[in-house]
């Protein structure tokens, strides 16, 4: 097969050496790995289509990927086969101010697009934590979220058009440059979040927005997480849609302070970080109203950043949450159970109870505005019992999230690691339907087999 | 079959009398009709599922519908069978300010939801022209647009969760109350715009937003439509995302003035109506900047409404466009070819050239912000040659829209009337894929057969 693949993409772009096979055996998910047979780097849509035709004929698994920053083992080639790496397809083809769209290949990194459009006074809102490394193809395949989802939505809300190659090697285009287009089923949004199981995306047309003029940032400490959750409800009920509304629980506040020494109040039960963007007058008004809402719910301290440096310091507390937890133990399991925002306090209380019962260190931070929580366990992978306890604890956490009308995954994807929980959320009939949809796109089941739709 | 259906929904809710069969033989699309065998009005999900199981066993077509306001003959039962009318399922079950969602049955009228949430200081943005009559189920099935799409998106952007019955009678739920939820393929958005061909939606969970405090409205006349189009580009390039950006061409200006006598300048080549919502200070600033942009592109007159009465008068010009054209001749064909907004002037020039060549009266108005045009032909249906010319002209209009990277339909749907153009836009492989997806949801092809996915 290697010779056949080399004839398509060139011998330089087919790798089966130990280094390549090792590099592409994992993504950002801990503990999961799978050895591919060969790694292929196509340069354009025609090469992708030709590779898929070969794989389809031979019934060889194909795992498409970009930078592999996903956290659900969505790009681990656990059944071997071809890893199709799309990072050579990294042309940012067009930024149109007139149509407010960008057209690019899937290998463009998210930060590159964000920076390029920012330089023209535009905004591409999706900002997943991995944005400096992650590719747009991966972001669309996983329907990445980020910190601005409450106000601006997630990746799916910015996918206007997609060119994609089906499992059979056929090339389709869905949508284009239009906000309004209802010709046919909405395949571009079906592909968004399909985790490489339906098609390989080869070109993306993404919606842009005018960039906001300015932004403001503030923070508030609370005795209890419940107080912070009520402040969130009060902010939203007051008619404000903030751009940032993030929280850290007590475990995270402590670990961030130990790590970054930025003077956080480690006696607080919760820290809420809030922000708004727009024009300066609206920001000032919204920030004042959010501060009032926090005070009304018993915030022990509220601070509005009065300079960009102060704002950066506040945001640093949120950004440091994951790295600070990660350095406590060699293994970090970062999850993304999600609940309606009115149930956040209840859910975090469940997480803390479960962590205690399983004798685990779990800190929870996340997106208070959209209910997307990141319970994060840190442990020693050599401690096999702790690993077992962590899996059991997360099983309970997911079950609790579902009881509260939530989801097993808000933004990380199902991948390999959450497939076992999917039927609990969707039911057997729904999962069977996913399989039939998968077969419509990929009749021989070569695309990322054993994951979503399998 | 009638007895079997009566056993499910009750004899009062099964109609096969001439009056019912006639009423439900059409929707809002001119010239298209089809006689159903029976009309059924279910009261809940279980009844819908039971009706579909009966129909599926007997291979009887089922055409789900609400108020039937669609303009693409999407709910015309041209193959007979059951018309499944969902207007009895009209419970507005919940409005949650905390989670910013509404939960409702499909038969709730759009205006009812919009009014109920407005009374609580919230906004449901999608505002299709038919909103006072149309149901939310129909809006979701058609992925309706409206006047606010540039700033707020279309119906799909507000569908968080769906309960739906497949062709086999199986009930699935996709999504729920969460902005972030990536567990499984995004079926709620696939169902949005699927035109009753994949499943019957029985419950909707819709995203709400805080209502803007205020709004502003203005208008500008231009000598040529090209000037107005450049003004639109200038507005967007200046970083403003207006809530309203509508235009009328010269034909529409004339017909509105003849009809409504509101003092429009009928010598103008184009009228642009623009508006913003938000807080008063931002509105004032944005309105001034939009007025400047119009002047910079040669507007012959710019007016900002200084009172709600004046604003209503300006908006009346846009609202009167369709009724004023409609009264010119007995038959009105309202289309929705859509192009990238940077190509609007070019497209309208094509439409005017085509209208002249086919000796037709076609006025064009529409959404300048999102490129969704409404070329509207008025003619006498007794003049068979004119009807033939109109069909040929629209065929050319769609072909031109596709040449300009546009779509045959921005918001009206494919339905029966545009199915013949679909392959031109999507290609044969894509259309074949739609058929396979349809089969995954509706293996016996009973749901709205002969339309999308057939």
pLDDT in tens, B365-397: 999 989 999 999 999 999 999 999 999 999 999
Inter-chain residue contact B186 with A198, CB threshold 8 Å: no
- Cβ within 8 Å of residue B295, ≥6 positions away: B220, B302
Please report which confidence band the pLDDT of residue B33 belongs to, taking 50, 70 and 90 as the band edges: very high
How does pLDDT run across B429-454, given as a tens digit for each residue? 999 999 999 999 999 999 999 999 99
Find the mean pLDDT for residues A270-295.
Answer: 95
When pLDDT is cut at 50, 70 and 90, the band that residue A281 belongs to is confident
Residues 6+ apart with CB under 8 A from A231: A220, A222, A272, A293, A294, A296, A297, A299
Pick from A101, A129, A180, A451 the residue to mutate for testing the B interface (most B CBs within 10 Å).
A180
pLDDT of residue B330: 95
A27-53: pLDDT as tens digits: 999 889 999 999 999 999 999 999 999
Average pLDDT over residues B225-232: 92
**pTM score of the predicted model:** 0.96
pLDDT confidence bin for B23, thresholds 50/70/90: very high
ipTM metric: 0.95
Residue A238 pLDDT > 90? no
CB contact under 8 A, A182 and B411: yes
DSSP state of A156: G
* Rounded mean pLDDT, A219-243: 92
**Predicted local confidence at residue A175, as pLDDT:** 96
Nearest to B407 among A145, A183, A241 (CB): A183
Cβ contacts from A onto B, under 8 A? 276
Q: Are strands A331-334 and B82-85 parallel, antiparallel or unpaired?
A: unpaired
If pLDDT is split at 50, 70 and 90, which confidence band does A70 have?
Answer: very high
Both tokens assigned to A242: 């903030």
> Cβ of B192 and A213 within 8 Å?
no
Token pair, residue A278, equals 């727009």
Q: Do A239 and B172 touch (CB under 8 A)?
A: no
pLDDT in tens, B121-175: 999 999 998 999 999 999 999 999 988 999 999 999 999 999 999 999 999 999 9
Q: Give contacts of B285 with chain A, Cβ < 8 Å.
A: 279
Nearest C-alpha of chain B: how many angstroms from A183? Answer: 6
Chain A CB contacts of B154 below 8 Å: 179-180
pLDDT confidence tier of residue A239, bands split at 50, 70 and 90: confident
Sheet holding B214-222, edge to edge: B301-304, B214-222, B270-278, B244-249, B361-367, B372-379, B331-334
Whole-number Å distance between alpha carbons of A376 and A361:
8
Angle between helices B250-260 and B308-319 (to 10 degrees): 120
Mean pLDDT of chain A: 96
**Subunit contact B182:A97, Cβ cutoff 8 A:** no
- Which residues in chain B have Cβ-Cβ distances shorter than 8 Å to A371? 178-180
Give me the residue from A184, A407, A453 closest to B181, CB to CB.
A407
Q: What is the mean pLDDT of residues A300-316?
A: 93
The two most distant CA atoms of chain B are separated, in Å, by: 69
Predicted local distance difference test score (pLDDT) of residue A142: 97
Looking at residue B237, its pLDDT comes to 81
- Answer yes or no: do B410 and A156 touch at CB < 8 A: no
What secondary structure, in 3-state letters, does A253-300 show? HHHHHHHHCCCCCCCCCEEEEEEEEECHHHHHHHHHHHHHHHHHCCCC
Asked if the model's pLDDT at residue A233 lies above 90, the reply is: no
Find chain A residues with C-beta within 8 A of B279's C-beta. 281-282, 285
Residue A174, classed as helix, strand or coil, is strand
| Residue B417, pLDDT score | 95
Give B152's contacts in chain A (Cβ within 8 Å).
none
Q: pLDDT per residue over A141-171, tens digit each?
A: 999 998 899 999 999 999 999 999 999 999 9
Residue A384's pLDDT band, with cuts at 50, 70 and 90, is: very high
pLDDT of amino acid B238: 85
Residue contact A154–B179, C-beta within 8 A = yes
Contact A142 B182 (CB under 8 A): yes
- Closest Cβ opposite residue A178 in set B189, B233, B338: B338
* Nearest-by-Cβ selection for A184 from B157, B405, B426: B426
């Amino acid at each position: 097969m290697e010779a056949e693949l080399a004839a398509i993409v060139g011998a330089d772009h087919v790798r089966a050496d130990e280094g390549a096979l090792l590099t592409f055996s994992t993504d950002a998910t801990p503990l999961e790995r799978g050895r591919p047979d060969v790694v292929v780097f196509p340069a354009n849509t025609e090469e992708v289509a030709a590779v898929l035709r070969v794989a389809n004929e031979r019934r060889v698994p194909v795992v498409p990927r970009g930078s592999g920053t996903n956290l659900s083992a969505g790009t681990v080639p656990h059944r071997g086969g071809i890893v199709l790496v799309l990072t050579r397809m990294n042309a940012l083809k067009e930024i149109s101010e007139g149509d407010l769209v960008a057209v690019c290949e899937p290998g463009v990194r998210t930060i590159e697009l964000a920076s390029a459009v920012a330089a023209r006074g535009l905004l591409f809102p999706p900002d997943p934590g991995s944005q400096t490394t992650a590719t747009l193809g991966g972001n669309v395949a996983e329907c990445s979220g980020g910190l601005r989802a409450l106000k601006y939505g997630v990746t799916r809300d910015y996918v206007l058009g997609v060119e994609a190659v089906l499992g059979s090697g056929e090339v389709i285009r869905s949508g284009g440059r239009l906000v309004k287009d209802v010709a046919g089923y909405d395949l571009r949004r079906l592909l968004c979040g399909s985790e490489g199981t339906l098609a390989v995306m080869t070109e993306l047309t993404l919606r842009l927005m005018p960039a906001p003029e300015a932004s403001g940032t503030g923070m508030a400490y609370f005795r209890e997480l419940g107080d912070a959750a009520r402040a969130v409800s009060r902010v939203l009920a007051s008619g404000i849609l903030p751009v940032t509304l993030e929280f850290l629980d007590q475990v995270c506040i402590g670990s961030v302070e130990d790590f970054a020494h930025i003077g956080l109040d480690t006696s607080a039960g919760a820290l809420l970080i809030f922000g708004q963007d727009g024009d300066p007058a609206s920001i000032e008004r919204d920030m004042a109203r959010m501060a009032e809402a926090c005070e009304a719910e018993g915030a022990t301290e509220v601070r509005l950043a009065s300079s960009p440096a102060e704002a950066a310091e506040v945001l640093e507390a949120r950004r440091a949450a994951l790295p600070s937890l990660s350095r406590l133990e060699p293994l970090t399991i970062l999850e993304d159970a999600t609940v309606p925002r009115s149930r956040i306090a209840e859910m975090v209380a469940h997480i803390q109870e479960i962590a205690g019962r399983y004798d685990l260190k779990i800190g929870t931070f996340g997106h208070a505005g959209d209910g997307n929580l990141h319970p994060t366990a840190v442990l020693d992978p050599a401690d096999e019992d702790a690993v077992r306890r962590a899996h059991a604890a997360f099983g309970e956490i997911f079950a609790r999230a579902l009881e509260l009308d939530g989801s097993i995954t808000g933004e990380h994807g199902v991948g390999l690691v959450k497939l076992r929980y999917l039927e609990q959320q969707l039911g057997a009939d729904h999962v069977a339907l996913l399989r039939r949809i998968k077969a419509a796109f990929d009749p021989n089941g070569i695309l990322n087999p054993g994951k979503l739709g399998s």
